[in-house]
Amino acid sequence: MPQFRFYDFRTHIMHAARSCLMFLMLGALMLPLQPGQVSASSGAGLDLRVQLDLQTGILRGHGIIRPKVIEGTNLDIFLHPAMEIHAVQLNNNPVDYRFENGRLRLNLGMTGIGSDVIISLRYSGRFHDPVPMSLFTMDNPGFGVSATITEQGVFFQGQSGWFPRLASQDLPITLEISAPLGILAVTSGRLLEHVESDGKSISRWQVDQLGRGMPLSAGRYIHRRLETDTVPVFTYFFPDNDHLSEVYLQASARHLALYEELHGPYPFDHFAVVENFFPSGFGMPSYTLLGSAILRLPFIPEISLRHEIAHCWWGNGVYVDYSQGNWSEGLTTYVADYLAQEEQSEAAAREYRVRILRDYALLAAGASDIPVASFLSRSDPATQVIGYGKSMFLLHMIRQRLGDEAFWDALRAFYTEWLFSAATWQDMFAAFQDQGWDAQERKTFTRQWLQDSGAPVLHLEDVQVAPSSQGWQVSGVLAQQKPFFDVHVPLRLETTKNDQTMEVALHGAAVPFVFQSPHRPTRLHVDPDHHVFRLLASEEIPPTVNSVRGAADLTVVQSDDLAHVPDDLIRGFTASLNQPKARIITEREAQKQTLKTSNLLFFGFPRSGRLQEMLYAPHKYDLGRNKNGPSFKAHPEAGTMDTIFLVLPHAGHADGIIALFSPARDLDTDAIADTARRIRHYGKDSYLGFLKGENKLRGTWPAPESPLIMDLAG
Ligand SMILES: [Zn+2]
């Protein structure tokens, strides 16, 4: 088993910092400079002093603003609508202003024209967004929190309005944050210093590249630093997690070196891993903000951290122009999560691609499907599959067409050209075309893969094996259902000696193919390594946790043994499995109804013999019978675990599933809840075993069969 496996959990990490709506809003407000404008002071900038009071939740700010250009007689400044304005001065004199809906409008009169302007602004506000402390039913941890000051820590999103931002221009910011002793403040930009003065902790930062905002985090951090060949790496962890610092520093340094080599120079002054006081997984320019529990998960330094660091190039380095959809998650997933598998082995990479195809079939295809160009940010499993998985797969297909060298060269050129600018999918595709991608193919690709939803459904027809002068001839037709896709599909003929491969260009309904082989053919396999994005047939998909998440009309049968478990625990559990509307019924009700429903989840092993039989209906998986539920013949250790979860095909309904969540009888309600909330993190697994909330057993049933594999031996 490889050291790090792909875990579904990482994809639950939310990047609300890149929230597209806020970006679109801001984009609309940024006015282009007009000719004839008057330039003011050459020392343009914002000097900002901020005091944080963690006990009262109050932020006090004093900004000295020296704009570089004066437009007309008004100056608009954005601040959080909850801020109170205490004093505004223009060149040391009071000035007319109005503050409405987060917009502070100063009437400069004639003062602005032809002279240096200095504005002094004093403001304050109290911020106490409630923060989520549990992940049980939150599909998007961190989402919704934009500004909060608590005794545990401080968090402001980049565009939450905690600092004055001019509507018409961005200024370099010199920032001084004063907080109670021991509270360090972190933002994007360049760290000048953390010092103590007059019983306060002072953090000073220089922020020259504002991008989409300036986030702020503060807490009782221990700050550690590692020098690398390129930029320094920091950690800001709470004392309880300080021992993890070294692992994160080393991993960050490795990831930075990798992407500098692959994409080009890292675009920021340093990289920091910052601990958050509530569950989150934000990726900010030059730092990532991870919740305490997330930091402690063993796979984060290799998987999630790498993903966030790749975002420093894609999303926070090259920005997204959302007019054609958000490409940054697909590209980041490809160069981080996917490439990590490829570095391990070709088999691991193939497995990753297969899992994306299964996710697509289970969670997105059909009614929930959307075009890739419509993806802006993740809001449910379907948008996640499209925006991360399908997008990533499209890049993989382009790479197959271009070859490695041209593909990576194109991305490098794309990065160089678009750093700190907002780019579209087509801007990226133009870079691929510069590296030899056919213009017509790009056009077709854009239409069928970006603008349209869906995926090809392939099958084999008329496969014939006949003796020939060279030995054997295998002929056939690769066909597809409507709507037709243009795809290049690899075929592999296996024989008694060696394999032969060819690639066919499928365009329209069907394409014929012929293999000549000196050896007796044994098997024909369409796209054996899964390089083509397509809709899998149901028999290619073993039932998994994601089958439960994608199941229509799920019915939950509460076992009589678990009748004492409160309703809201079961509701929380089903909601975490993307089934907030699941029907919950008792065993007695189930006796009458279960045969009609094709998707069932048993919450607890049923007492009724008839319901138990549904779990033992014939299927290919090697399950034994135990007094308290099924046993795994291949995994006897499962008998020592306190909770088993498994998903099986429904013998009575094609495409239906039966799942079982089976805690030991003596497990108390808290322990049941603790284990139940973990299930959703194992979307790709068919069976799971837990002991005291810790995962001890996991695996996927083998895929039953495929209509794209044809046995020729018989
Ligand atoms: Zn991401």
Residue 598: per-residue pLDDT: 82
> In the chain, how long is the greatest CA-to-CA distance?
99
- Give the domain 318-451 fold: Neutral Protease; domain 2 (1.10.390)
Cα 421 to ligand 1 centre (Å)? 18
426 closest CA partner among 304, 320, 534: 320
Q: Measure 454 CA to ligand 1 centroid, in angstroms.
A: 23
Domain boundaries, the chain: 9-311, 318-451, 458-532, 541-699
Q: For residue 642, how far is its CA from the centre of ligand 1 (angstroms)?
A: 35
* Reported confidence tier of residue 306, pLDDT bands at 50, 70, 90: very high
Q: What percent of the chain has pLDDT over 90?
A: 65
Q: What is the CATH number of domain 541-699?
A: 3.30.379
Superfamily of domain 9-311: tricorn interacting facor f3 domain (2.60.40.1730)
Distance 392 CA to ligand 1 centre (A): 11
C-alpha of residue 685 to centroid of ligand 1, in Å = 22
Question: In whole angstroms, what is the distance from residue 79 CA to residue 162 CA?
Answer: 6
Confidence at residue 279, expressed as pLDDT on a 0 to 100 scale? 83
Mean pLDDT score, 533-559:
90
Q: What is the pLDDT of residues 343-371, one digit of tens each?
A: 999 999 999 999 999 999 999 998 889 99
Confidence band for 504, pLDDT divided at 50, 70 and 90: very high
The per-residue pLDDT for 33 is: 33
pLDDT in tens, 178-217: 999 999 999 989 999 999 999 999 999 999 888 778 999 9
Structure letter (DSSP) for residue 164? -
Q: Summarize pLDDT for 95-105 with one digit per residue, the tens.
A: 999 999 999 99
Centre of ligand 1 to C-alpha 234, Å, is: 21
Ligand 1 centroid to Cα of residue 550, in Å, is: 22
Nearest Cα to 397, choosing from 359, 367, 357? 357
CA of 17 to the centre of ligand 1 (A): 10
3-state DSSP assignment of residue 59: strand
For residue 487, the CA-to-ligand 1 centroid distance in Å is 28
CA of 292 to the centre of ligand 1 (A): 19
CB-count exposure of residue 605 (10 Å: 0-12, 13-18, 19+): buried
Query: pLDDT (tens digit, 9 = 90+) per residue, 422-477?
Result: 999 999 999 999 999 999 999 999 999 999 999 999 999 999 999 998 899 999 99
Distance from Cα 330 to the centre of ligand 1, integer Å? 8
pLDDT at 287 > cutoff 80: yes
In this predicted structure, the answer to whether residue 111 has a pLDDT above a threshold of 80 is no
Which of left, alpha, beta for 711 (phi over 0: left; psi -120 to 50: alpha)? beta
Predicted pLDDT at 619: 64
Q: CA separation (Å) from 44 to 41, 57, 110, 118, 173? A: 6, 31, 19, 9, 10
Q: What is the mean pLDDT of residues 265-278?
A: 94
User: What is the predicted pLDDT for the residue at 284?
Assistant: 84
> For 29-76, what is each residue's pLDDT tens digit?
333 333 333 333 458 999 999 999 999 999 999 999 998 866 678 889
Q: Distance between CA atoms of 81 and 125, rounded to whole angstroms? A: 9
Which residues on adjacent β-strands are paired with residue 75? 106
Higher-pLDDT residue of 175 and 368 is 175
- List Cβ neighbours of 54 (8 Å cut-off, separation of 6 or more): 149, 150, 151, 153, 154, 179, 180, 183
pLDDT attached to residue 133 = 52
Q: How far apart are CA 84 and CA 217, in angstroms?
A: 21
Report the separation in Å between the CA atom of 435 and the middle of ligand 1, taken as the mean of its atom positions.
Answer: 26
State residue 611's pLDDT score.
Answer: 87
Mean pLDDT for the chain overall? 87
279 alpha carbon – ligand 1 mean position (Å): 16
Check residues 111 and 189 and name the one with the higher pLDDT. 189
| Torsion sign, CA atoms 137, 141, 145, 150 | positive
| Ligand 1: centre distance to CA 329 (Å) | 5
Ligand 1 mean position to 555 CA, how many Å? 33
Prediction ipTM score:
0.99
| Residue 260: pLDDT over 80 | yes
Token duo for residue 390: 């399908």
Find the 140 Cα to ligand 1 centroid distance in Å: 12
